[in-house]
């Protein structure tokens, strides 16, 4: 494997960076042909490592996650740039406080690879930089006052694109300057798309600031490679628990057999399948969303194929800022006129489209 910094230098970021031998299909060509002509176009970046895993077919499940298509320009009337309504729950820049006992920090807007199904495309790739010392100081003061907060989730972007010194300083401040022990979660796709980044030095930094949990996103069993196995093993061996949040994606993993293979593979790596997320209503992602009825059917089939230990929670972030709920009958009130009506944790009604084929 190449060094992770070499991966960053040679990351594919434009049509001209793709190998000459790599043939784009019509939908992929149409995306690049429209560059600069759209009101909004999500950035493109894929690491050489992940690119080496994708297949020649446009229907390849890994290729679909990283090579953009013109489908991203088709925006449904109910799709928005900020589907989780994070901005209204941001009392401070780069901090989201939706749930009483935890906050989310948007550490950086940069990722090693921009997943085409990304729900935070309103923020990721905007090149707003990294959380500043002043912003972090204000957040620490907020946490000192809000003693109900017990967990801090570090996300973005991907926090692990930062240098070791920045990561270490950030964790040190959160661990020692707030005045109480916080559970720290690192939300990162780095073990999947650039496992070279999980170096002995980084693992040492994470283990020194325990309790630190790694929350990653494997969406297909082909993403489990010798390199990603090695990265995960080094984390778990050092006492950093790893959990996985997969996204249910049309054409990628929307079959029970595909997910069963993924979840069993994760268990063998000592990674707990944590969540399987229904697609958010992010602008330009409708071609990835699986109808809810199909999602329910897939989960029913999965229960007959894998153990409870391998089963994640099927969940959705309710549109309009309703928060995260498990997709079970207790939250589903009714289906009416093409919309599912869910009762959120706050008792209010939230609607998710049926999106039948």
Number of structural domains (the chain) is: 1
* Residue 154 near residue 102 (C-beta atoms within 8 A): no
CA separation for the pair 114, 65 (Å, rounded): 9
Residue 357 pLDDT exceeds 60: no
Greatest C-alpha distance within the chain = 57
Q: Is 115 a catalytic residue?
A: yes
Q: Is 40 a catalytic residue?
A: no
Please tell me which residue in 116, 280, 340, 352 is annotated as part of the active site.
Answer: 280
The DSSP H or E segment spanning 133 is: helix 133-145
Please tell me which residue in 118, 254, 274, 350 is annotated as part of the active site.
Answer: 118
185, 54, 39: which is closest to 113 by C-alpha?
54
Q: Is 15 a catalytic residue?
A: no
CA separation for the pair 101, 124 (Å, rounded): 25
Per-residue confidence band for 101, with pLDDT thresholds at 50, 70 and 90: very high
Whose tokens are 């994606």? That residue is 249
- Provide the 3-class DSSP secondary structure of residue 335: strand
* Residue 191 near residue 216 (C-beta atoms within 8 A): yes
CA separation for the pair 230, 168 (Å, rounded): 22
Q: Is 317 a catalytic residue?
A: yes
Residue 334 is predicted with a pLDDT of 75
Q: Is 63 a catalytic residue?
A: no
Strand partners for 156? 108
User: What is the CATH number for 243?
Assistant: 3.20.20.70
38-89 pLDDT tens trace = 666 789 999 999 999 999 999 999 999 999 999 999 999 999 989 999 999 9
Q: Is 189 a catalytic residue?
A: no
Q: Is 349 a catalytic residue?
A: no
C-alpha distances out from residue 76 to 30, 65, 98, 347, Å: 19, 20, 26, 27
CA separation for the pair 237, 301 (Å, rounded): 33
Residue 332 is predicted with a pLDDT of 84
49-58 pLDDT tens trace = 999 999 999 9
pTM score of the predicted model = 0.95
CA separation for the pair 10, 302 (Å, rounded): 39
Q: Is 118 a catalytic residue?
A: yes
Angle at the Cα of 132 (from 129 to 136), degrees rounded to 5?
130
Please tell me which residue in 317, 340, 350, 352 is annotated as part of the active site.
Answer: 317
233-271 pLDDT tens trace = 999 999 999 999 999 999 999 999 999 999 999 999 999
Per-residue confidence band for 350, with pLDDT thresholds at 50, 70 and 90: very high
* Residue 218 near residue 274 (C-beta atoms within 8 A): no
Please tell me which residue in 8, 69, 94, 120 is annotated as part of the active site.
Answer: 120
Please tell me which residue in 78, 99, 142, 351 is annotated as part of the active site.
Answer: 99
Residue 338 is predicted with a pLDDT of 86
Residue 24 is predicted with a pLDDT of 96
Residue 162 is predicted with a pLDDT of 96
Residue 136 pLDDT exceeds 70: yes
CA separation for the pair 343, 332 (Å, rounded): 6
Residue 1 is predicted with a pLDDT of 55
Q: Is 166 a catalytic residue?
A: no
Please tell me which residue in 76, 102, 166, 354 is annotated as part of the active site.
Answer: 102
Per-residue confidence band for 356, with pLDDT thresholds at 50, 70 and 90: low
Q: Is 341 a catalytic residue?
A: no
Tokens of 232: 């995960």
Residue 122 is predicted with a pLDDT of 77
SS (H, E, C) 70-81: HHHHCCCCCCEC
175-221 pLDDT tens trace = 999 999 999 999 999 999 999 999 999 999 999 999 999 999 999 99
- The residue segments making up the domain with residue 291 are 4-353
Residue 39 is predicted with a pLDDT of 65
Whose tokens are 């990721």? That residue is 124
């Amino acid at each position: 494997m190449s060094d992770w910094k070499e991966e960053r230098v040679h990351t594919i970021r434009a049509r001209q960076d793709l190998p000459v031998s790599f043939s784009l299909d019509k939908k992929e060509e149409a995306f690049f042909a429209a560059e600069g002509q759209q009101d909004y176009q999500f950035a493109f970046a894929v690491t050489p490592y992940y690119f080496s895993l994708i297949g020649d077919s446009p229907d390849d499940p890994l290729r679909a996650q990283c090579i953009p298509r013109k489908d991203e320009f088709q925006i449904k009337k109910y799709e928005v740039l900020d589907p989780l309504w994070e901005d209204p729950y941001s009392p401070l820049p780069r901090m989201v406080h939706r749930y009483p006992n935890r906050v989310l920090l948007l550490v950086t807007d940069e990722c090693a690879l921009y997943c085409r199904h990304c729900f935070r495309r309103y923020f990721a790739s905007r090149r707003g930089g990294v959380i500043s010392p002043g912003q972090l100081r204000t957040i620490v003061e907020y946490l000192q006052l809000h003693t109900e907060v017990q967990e801090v989730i570090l996300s973005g972007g991907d926090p692990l694109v930062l240098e070791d010194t920045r990561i270490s300083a950030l964790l040190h401040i959160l661990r020692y300057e707030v005045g109480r022990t916080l559970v720290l979660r690192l939300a990162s796709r780095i073990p999947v798309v650039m496992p070279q980044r999980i170096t002995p030095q980084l693992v040492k930094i994470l283990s020194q600031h325990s309790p630190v949990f790694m929350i990653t996103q494997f969406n297909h069993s082909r993403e489990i490679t010798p390199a990603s196995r090695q990265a995960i093993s080094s984390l778990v061996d050092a006492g950093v628990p790893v959990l996985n949040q997969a996204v249910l994606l049309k054409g990628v993993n929307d079959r029970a057999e595909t997910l069963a293979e993924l979840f069993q593979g994760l268990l063998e790596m000592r990674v707990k399948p944590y969540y399987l997320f229904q697609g958010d209503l992010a602008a330009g992602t409708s071609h990835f969303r699986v109808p809810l009825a199909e999602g329910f059917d897939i989960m029913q089939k999965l229960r007959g194929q894998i153990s409870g230990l391998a089963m994640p929670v099927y969940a959705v972030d309710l549109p309009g800022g309703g928060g995260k709920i498990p997709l079970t009958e207790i939250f589903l009130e009714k289906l009416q006129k093409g919309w599912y009506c869910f009762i959120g944790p706050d008792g209010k009604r939230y609607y998710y489209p049926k999106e039948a084929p």
